[in-house]
């Protein structure tokens, strides 16, 4: 039935023009929904045509997109993706975040919210089933994320930027009212550049499910797989300890980035391990709306506790073993609206450059300086690549495409090394997420010290995760479930048949679209590079585990394989300039 | 890639789940490659070329049970629904294509099916299974389908008897020559006290290997642990019992470290068993007759419909208690520890066997052999009227 109505989607987006002060509802063509699903895929597709604009250009869209599973009881599906072009990396950028905001945007009756233009004065947007309303937000400008969220509480769920986003910090984040971050890539600065302080969404529309019995069967299958997964519901897993459950594991595997990646073991990491945080703060389960895993942790007062990446980077990467300082740094970043990974990694690069890493009691002051561009903060606000360049030591930026690497040393997982480079948004662990099989043994284990087969594995995983980001579901679900069960839920919701293979084909289309945009902005193989340190210096070997430098020849060989598998030229570009025009 | 193929083709031979000479694999690196039985290898290449997966296995099973199940299935059926936990949890059900459905374009038909499933049965050809990430995964899915078909066929024959020409003869041949006696004769076990970590790791790896080499269990599913002082040494999740060297996690009993996040999904069950018993070693596997017999339930007028999850009775099969409970956080860890301390063995509905050793693995291993032998005897005792009929 070519034109039968699709359940799962509303089929509409809300377009808001901040310069004109107008908004309108637009239909989304059926072939875009079926071809890109929602979330990341739909957002990336909607960016087409604007993808070569400067990230701070007034016409650069900032897109919030939910997926067809959002609003259903599909586990971990109350998520959205924010898509634009990153001022930090210059690449197309999307960020997945959970929380009530996604759920409410869907309930307002929209699959996406597209914002363009620059408001003449500080503004906020209120989205309801009636459409968009632009509100003056002069009184909120300069306020922290928490204050902003509280001020708009009556209007529904809120996403807001802090002072960092207002001031154009290149790694400024967008925070959801419940504490979920659109963390990486500086999309908060794009929002600030539009003079947009906050968005509030409200509504109560439901999402249809075409076949409830089929949906419920698939949902039960997913829950059974979650319970069978030690990483998810095991007594040492993320449901119990949150992602800091990884602290002890990365220490044991000798791949915890330490002192700006000079070492890979930090003797003080035990002070911020999952069990240590639980002991010190009485961690309670917390998390995204409707998620059964509840991997976020909060303290006795309900304040959010940091994630693995954050504790490890404010900890080991800066040589700090003071849990109190780490927890305060995390809170401050969330109030100021800054990505914790890039903030901590920029401090570490700067610390190595000047010969001294910041002390535990200096970090908060430096973070505030960054957000308000005070003193050295003005430089630090530009991220590690620009800091290292300014110091005359470009090699000290531990980043790929200017995105600071998270807390998995690539010398300890070769698939991760490759995936950092092939990622379309720069040095990110979540695009192909090889940590899943190289370290956590899910769905099966691969040899972390081998490149064999990794190019193909990374390609398949990138496609898979692009589909996951477009459903939108949480990556952590796939420590237990597979695309098979999620495809079954999607089919039950939409009434259209999907399977892992068709989802991976959609994922491939999304990945190649992103790569095409990047190539249009001048990116090619020269940018798919790890910092030299990883090819020259060993990590911290010991306890029977050898962490040598990465074999550069073997790495290059596998990267070339990746280009061949992707159908790209040896330069990592497209031989067909008309590639996009043949896609839906 | 070729070394991976050789390795898993070897495992299919060693565990006798595939017919020698009728095994093929394909793998997708930057190029597509295949090995094994020429016709099956061509099939593998044909299927894999249109799938976004790394590996594919196709082999004719060493027993005709899968084909029998397809032929016994109703005319409208397109899948079989085995009741064991491996299927229930990971495969959900097993789709098949009949001989006439495969037609002239078997690769395309099979690829179509595998586009949404982990593995399938192609009547007359064998089991075809995909691995999204590794060649090993294709082997695991093959092995699971073989296991599921084996267990389902045992149960179907027990309840419905033989229906097809040649079935009875094939079953008798299976009993006569495929099944081999199980025992622990000639195996060396280290006795107490096992305290040195090196010794412990070696012993766990050795005993894990015994369980597979002796044909007691398939390689991939199952787990094993030993407690020494405040530490549980336990096999990792997704580790094969016959390949545990370097895949054993030391986990502190008091949860002071989360290094064991990679430990077996049954860590919680193991820990609770240690807390509630004086045992020091635990063995868990899925011996096929035990899995089948655990589901032979004679309760009358029972209101439970989800037996795996909701049955809270303790049934007895001889002197072995049988309880229900799903994997991991799904309830098995709650129901096994209270019943295992005394008999030092327990069965889980549709799933497998746990055994407990007092100071090492010798008694745990023998107990598992005894449970499976007992289940075999009981199975054939119950089947004898049908075999005679
Ligand atoms: Zn088991």
Is B238 within the bounds of a domain? yes
Structural contact between residues A434 and A449, judged by C-beta atoms closer than 8 angstroms? no
* Whether residue B218 sits in one domain with residue B114: no
Identify whether residues B222 and B341 lie together within a single domain. Answer: yes
B259 vs A252, A444, A485: nearest CB: A252
**What is the distance between the alpha carbons of residues B353 and B346, in angstroms, rounded to a whole number?**
6
Helices A274-281 and A323-336 sit at what angle, rounded to 10 degrees? 80
Q: Is residue B222 assigned to a domain? A: yes
Contact check, Cβ <8 Å, A504/B52: yes
For A98, the enclosing helix (H) or strand (E) is: strand A92-98
The answer to whether position A329 is within a domain reads no
As a three-state string, the secondary structure of A102-129 is HHHHHHCCCCEEEEECCCCCCEEEEEEC
Counted domains in chain B = 2
Which ipTM score applies to this complex? 0.94
Q: Tell me if chain A has a CB within 8 Å of the CB of B326.
A: yes
Q: What is the 3-state secondary structure (H, E, C) of A49-69?
A: CCCCCCCCCCCCCEEEEECCC
How many CB atoms are closer than 10 A to CB A222? 24
Q: How far lies A224's CA from each of A240, A288, A338, A530, B284, in Å? A: 17, 20, 37, 39, 20
Six token digits for residue A346? 């920029």
CA distance A326 to A332: 10
- Cβ-based neighbour number of residue A33 at 10 Å: 24
Distance of alpha carbon B211 from alpha carbon B222, whole angstroms = 10
- Tokens 């070997």, residue located: A541
Tell me, yes or no, whether B129 and B243 share the same domain: no
Cα–Cα dist B106/B68, whole Å: 20
Regions of chain A where pLDDT drops below 70? 1-4
Sign of the C-alpha dihedral, residues B269, B329, B286, B198?
negative
The bridge status of strand B32-36 relative to strand B18-28 is antiparallel
CA distance B149 to A138: 68
Q: At what angle do helices A454-471 and A39-47 cross, to 10 degrees?
A: 90
Instruction: Let me know if residue B187 belongs to a domain.
Output: no
Q: Which residues contact B305 (CB under 8 A, 6 or more apart)?
A: none
Comparing CB atoms, the residue among B134, B257, B268 nearest residue A444 is: B134
**Same domain, residue pair B134 and B275:** no
- B154 vs B66: CA distance, rounded Å: 11
Q: Dump the DSSP string for B284-336.
A: EE--HHHHHHHT----SS---S-HHHH----EEETTEEEE--BSGGGBHHHHH
Contact between B377 and B353 (Cβ < 8 Å):
no
**Cβ-Cβ contacts under 8 Å for A345 (sequence gap 6 or more):** A260, A313, A317, A384, A398, A399, A404, A405
User: Could you tell me the two tokens for B293?
Assistant: 């017999």
A155 domain residue, yes or no: yes
Residue B239 and residue B383 share a domain: yes
Q: With CB atoms and an 8 Å threshold, state whether B29 touches A439.
A: no
**What burial class does residue B42 get, using C-beta atoms within 10 Å of its C-beta: 0-12 exposed, 13-18 middle, 19+ buried?**
middle
**Cβ contact B259–A248 (<8 Å):** yes
Q: Best mutation site among B30, B137, B235 for testing chain A: the one with the most A CBs within 10 Å? A: B30
Contacts of B384 (CB under 8 A, 6+ apart): none
Query: Can you tell me which residue has the tokens 């989800």?
Result: B306
| Parts of chain B with a pLDDT under 50 | none
DSSP secondary structure code for residue A542 in this structure: B
- The helix/strand/coil state of B195 is coil
Chain A residues touching residue B79 (CB < 8 angstroms): none
B186 occurs within a structural domain: no
B332 and B346 Cβ atoms separated by less than 8 Å: no
| pLDDT (tens digit per residue) in A21-76 | 999 999 999 999 999 999 999 999 999 999 999 999 999 999 999 999 999 999 99
Q: Kindly state whether A461 is in contact with chain B, defined as any CB-CB distance less than 8 angstroms.
A: yes
Residue B240, domain CATH: 3.40.225.10
| Beta strands at B126-131 and B223-228: parallel, antiparallel or unpaired | unpaired
Is A193 inside any structural domain?
Answer: yes
**Model-wide pTM > 0.90:** yes
**Shortest distance, CA B26 to any CA of chain A (angstroms):** 13
Residue A206 tokens, joined: 């439901």
Please check whether residue A197 lies inside any domain of the structure: yes
Q: Which pLDDT value is given to residue A1?
A: 42
A contacts of B256 (beta carbons < 8 Å): 275
CA–CA distance, A540 with A258 (Å, rounded to integer):
9
Half-sphere exposure of B190 (CA within 13 A, CB side): 18
* Number of CB atoms found within 10 A of residue A72's CB: 25
Question: How would you write A167-187 as a 3-class SS string?
Answer: CCCCCECEEECCCCEECCCCH
The reply to whether B147 and B65 lie within a common domain is yes
Structure tokens that stand for A402 in this block: 């200017």
Structural domain that includes position B6: 2-178
A398 touches A313 (CB < 8 A):
no
CB pair distance less than 8 Å for A249 and B261: yes
Dig out the tokens for B380 from the structure: 């054939």
Quick check: is A491 in a domain? no
Residue A299, in any domain of the structure: no
Q: B 243-282 residues with CB below 8 A of A?
A: 247, 251, 255-265, 267-268, 271
**Which of the 8 DSSP states describes residue A5?**
P
| Assigned token pair, B37 | 């039985």
Q: Mind telling me how many Å the CA of A81 is from chain B's nearest CA?
A: 25
C-alpha A442/C-alpha A481 separation (Å) is 10
DSSP conformation letters of A410-448: GGG-HHHHHHHHH-TTSS-STTT-THHHHTS--SS---T
Note whether residue B184 is domain-resident. no
For the domain that residue A62 is a member of, what is the CATH number?
3.60.9.10
* Phi and psi angles of residue B248, each rounded to the nearest 5 degrees, phi first: -125, 125
Position B190 in a domain: no
Q: How far is the CA of B222 from the centre of ligand 1 (A)?
A: 5
Domain count, chain A: 1
Q: How far apart are alpha carbons A391 and A384 in whole angstroms?
A: 10
CB spacing of A444 vs B140 below 8 angstroms: yes
Sign of CA pseudo-dihedral A368, A373, A377, A383: positive
Q: Are residues B52 and B167 in the same domain?
A: yes
Cβ of A273 within 8 Å of Cβ of B258? The answer is yes
Residue B329: its pLDDT value, please? 78
Distance in Å from the first CA to the final CA of chain A: 18
Secondary element (H or E) of residue A465: helix A454-471
**Do B259 and B140 sit in the same domain of this protein?**
no
Do B381 and B291 sit in the same domain of this protein? yes
Based on the fold, state whether residues B136 and B94 are members of the same structural domain: yes
Whose CA is closest to B52, among B143, B114, B142? B114
Q: Is residue B44 part of a domain?
A: yes
pLDDT of A120 reads: 97
Contacts 24+ apart (CB under 8 A), A512-515: A512/A566, A512/A579, A513/A44, A513/A45, A513/A48, A513/A580, A513/A583, A514/A44, A514/A91, A514/A92, A514/A424, A514/A425, A515/A424, A515/A566, A515/A568, A515/A572, A515/A574
> Are B369 and B292 in a shared domain?
yes
Smallest Cα distance from B232 to chain A, Å: 13
* Interface contacts A/B by beta carbons within 8 Å: 164
* B87 burial level (CB within 10 Å; 0-12, 13-18, 19+): buried
Domain annotation covers residue A77: yes
Do B20 and B128 reside in the same domain of the chain?
A: yes
Helix axes A414-422, A552-566, angle to 10 degrees: 50
B27 to chain A: which residues are within 8 Å by CB? 453
Sheet of A174-176, strand order: A131-136, A123-128, A196-201, A157-160, A174-176, A181-182
User: A38 lies in which domain range?
Assistant: 12-201
How does DSSP classify residue A383? -
């Amino acid at each position: 039935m070519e034109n039968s109505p699709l359940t799962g989607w509303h089929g509409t987006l809300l377009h808001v023009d901040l310069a004109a002060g107008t908004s309108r509802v637009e239909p989304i063509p059926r072939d875009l929904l079926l071809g890109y699903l929602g979330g990341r895929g739909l957002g990336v597709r909607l960016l087409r045509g604007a993808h070569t604009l400067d990230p701070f250009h007034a016409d650069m869209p900032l897109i919030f997109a939910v997926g067809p599973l959002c609003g259903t009881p599909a586990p971990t599906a109350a998520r959205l993706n924010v898509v634009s072009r990153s001022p930090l990396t210059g690449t197309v950028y999307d960020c997945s975040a959970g929380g009530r905001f996604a759920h409410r945007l869907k309930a307002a009756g929209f699959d996406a919210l597209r914002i363009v233009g620059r408001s003449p004065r500080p503004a906020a947007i209120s989205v309801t089933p009636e459409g968009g309303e632009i509100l003056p937000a002069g009184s909120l400008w300069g306020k922290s994320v928490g204050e902003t969220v509280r001020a708009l509480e009556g209007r529904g769920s809120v996403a807001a930027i802090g002072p960092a986003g207002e001031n154009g910090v290149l790694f400024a984040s967008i925070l959801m009212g419940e504490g979920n971050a659109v963390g990486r890539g500086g999309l908060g600065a794009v929002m600030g550049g539009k003079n947009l302080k906050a968005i509030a969404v409200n509504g109560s529309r439901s999402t249809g499910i075409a076949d409830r019995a089929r949906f419920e069967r698939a949902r039960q299958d997913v829950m059974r797989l979650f319970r069978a997964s030690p990483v998810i519901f095991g007594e040492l897993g993320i449901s119990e300890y949150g992602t800091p459950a990884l602290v002890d594991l990365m220490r044991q595997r000798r791949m915890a980035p330490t002192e700006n990646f000079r070492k890979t073991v930090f003797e003080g990491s035990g002070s911020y391990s999952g069990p240590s945080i639980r002991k010190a703060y009485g961690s309670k389960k917390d998390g995204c709306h409707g998620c059964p895993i509840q991997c976020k942790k909060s303290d006795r007062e309900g304040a959010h506790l940091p994630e693995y990446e954050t504790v490890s980077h404010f900890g080991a990467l800066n040589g700090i073993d003071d849990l109190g300082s780490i927890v305060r740094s995390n809170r401050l970043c969330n109030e100021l609206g800054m990505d914790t990974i890039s903030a901590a990694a920029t401090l570490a690069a700067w610390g190595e450059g000047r010969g001294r890493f910041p002390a535990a009691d200096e970090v908060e002051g430096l973070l505030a300086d960054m957000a308000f561009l005070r003193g050295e903060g003005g430089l630090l606000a530009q991220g590690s690549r620009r800091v290292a360049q300014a110091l005359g030591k470009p090699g000290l930026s531990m980043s790929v495409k200017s995105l600071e690497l998270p807390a998995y040393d690539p010398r300890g997982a070769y698939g991760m090394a490759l995936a950092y480079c092939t990622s379309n948004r720069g040095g990110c662990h979540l695009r192909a997420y090889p940590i899943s099989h190289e370290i956590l043994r899910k769905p099966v284990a691969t040899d972390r010290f081998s490149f064999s087969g990794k190019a193909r594995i990374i390609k398949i995983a990138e496609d898979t995760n692009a589909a996951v980001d477009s459903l939108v579901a949480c990556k952590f679900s796939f420590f237990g479930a597979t695309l098979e069960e999620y495809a079954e839920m999607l089919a039950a919701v939409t009434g259209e048949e999907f399977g892992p293979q068709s989802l991976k084909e959609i994922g491939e289309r999304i990945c190649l679209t992103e790569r095409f945009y990047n190539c249009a902005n001048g990116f090619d193989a020269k940018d798919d590079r790890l910092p030299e340190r990883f090819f020259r210096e060993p990590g911290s070997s010991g306890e029977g585990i050898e962490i040598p430098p990465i074999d550069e020849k073997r790495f290059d060989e596998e990267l070339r394989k990746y280009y061949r598998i992707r159908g790209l030229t040896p330069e990592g570009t497209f031989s067909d300039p008309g590639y996009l025009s043949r896609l839906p | 890639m070729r070394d991976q193929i050789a390795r898993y083709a070897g495992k299919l031979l060693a565990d006798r789940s595939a017919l020698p000479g009728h095994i093929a694999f394909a793998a997708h690196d930057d190029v597509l490659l295949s090995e094994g039985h020429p016709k099956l290898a061509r099939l593998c290449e044909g299927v894999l070329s249109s799938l976004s997966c790394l590996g594919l296995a196709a082999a004719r099973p060493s027993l005709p049970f899968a084909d029998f199940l397809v032929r016994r299935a109703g005319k409208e059926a397109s899948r079989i629904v085995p009741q064991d936990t491996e299927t229930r949890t990971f495969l959900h059900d097993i789709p098949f294509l009949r001989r006439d459905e495969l037609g002239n374009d078997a690769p395309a038909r099979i690829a179509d099916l595998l586009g949404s499933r982990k593995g399938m049965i192609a009547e007359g050809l064998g089991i075809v299974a995909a691995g999204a990430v590794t060649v090993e995964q294709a082997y695991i899915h093959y092995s699971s389908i073989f296991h599921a078909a084996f267990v389902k066929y045992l149960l179907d024959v027990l309840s419905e008897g033989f229906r097809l020409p040649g079935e009875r003869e094939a079953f008798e041949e299976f009993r006569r020559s495929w099944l081999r006696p199980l025992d622990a004769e000639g195996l060396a076990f280290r006795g107490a006290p096992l305290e040195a970590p090196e010794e412990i790791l070696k012993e766990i790896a050795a005993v894990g290997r015994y369980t597979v080499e002796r044909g007691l269990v398939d390689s991939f599913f199952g787990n094993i642990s030993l407690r020494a002082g405040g530490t549980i040494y336990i096999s990792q999740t997704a580790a094969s019992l016959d390949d545990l060297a370097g895949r054993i996690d030391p986990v502190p009993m008091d949860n002071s470290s989360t290094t064991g996040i990679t430990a077996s999904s049954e860590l919680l069950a193991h820990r609770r068993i240690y807390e509630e018993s004086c045992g020091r070693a635990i063995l868990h596997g899925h011996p096929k007759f035990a899995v089948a017999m655990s589901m032979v339930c004679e309760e009358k007028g029972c209101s439970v419909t989800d037996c795996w999850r909701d049955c809270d009775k303790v049934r007895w099969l001889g002197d072995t208690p049988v309880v229900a409970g799903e994997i991991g956080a799904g309830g098995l860890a709650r129901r096994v520890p209270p019943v295992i301390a005394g008999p030092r063995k327990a069965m889980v509905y549709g799933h497998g066997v746990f055994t407990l050793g007092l100071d090492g693995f010798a008694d745990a291993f023998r107990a598992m052999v005894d449970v499976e032998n007992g289940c075999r005897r009981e199975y054939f005792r119950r089947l004898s009227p049908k075999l005679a009929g």
